[in-house]
């Protein structure tokens, strides 16, 4: 997979567009290579949604394990 964003100073790929400097050479990255504030907020919101879904799934799994320990097995469809 080729990285679409490259540091103009060292031509290495930009792995984290939130960081304002190149992680290899330390050069300041141009603004067009960095994520805009609204893009960062959208990514943060998506990450929060995924984390909430993981917590809910883990809660359901924990309840299911607890019920099975007590001898409850739901009927098959």
- Each residue's pLDDT tens digit in the chain (77 positions)? 566 899 999 999 999 999 999 999 999 999 999 999 999 999 999 999 999 999 999 999 999 888 888 887 777 76
Torsion angle, CA of 70/77/56/38, rounded to 10 degrees? 170
Between CA 4 and CA 68 the distance in angstroms is: 49
3-state SS class at 21: strand
Q: Token digits for 22?
A: 């190149």
The residues spanned by each domain of the chain are 1-34, 36-68
C-alpha of 46 from chain center: 8
Q: Is the pTM of this model over 0.75?
A: no
């Amino acid at each position: 997979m080729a990285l679409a964003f490259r540091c103009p100073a060292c031509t290495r790929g930009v792995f984290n567009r939130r960081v304002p400097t190149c992680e290899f050479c330390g050069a300041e990255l141009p603004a067009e290579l960095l994520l805009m504030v609204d893009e960062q907020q959208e990514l943060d919101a998506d990450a929060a949604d995924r984390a909430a879904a993981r917590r809910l799934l883990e809660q359901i799994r924990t309840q299911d394990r607890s019920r099975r320990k007590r001898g409850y097995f739901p009927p098959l469809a």
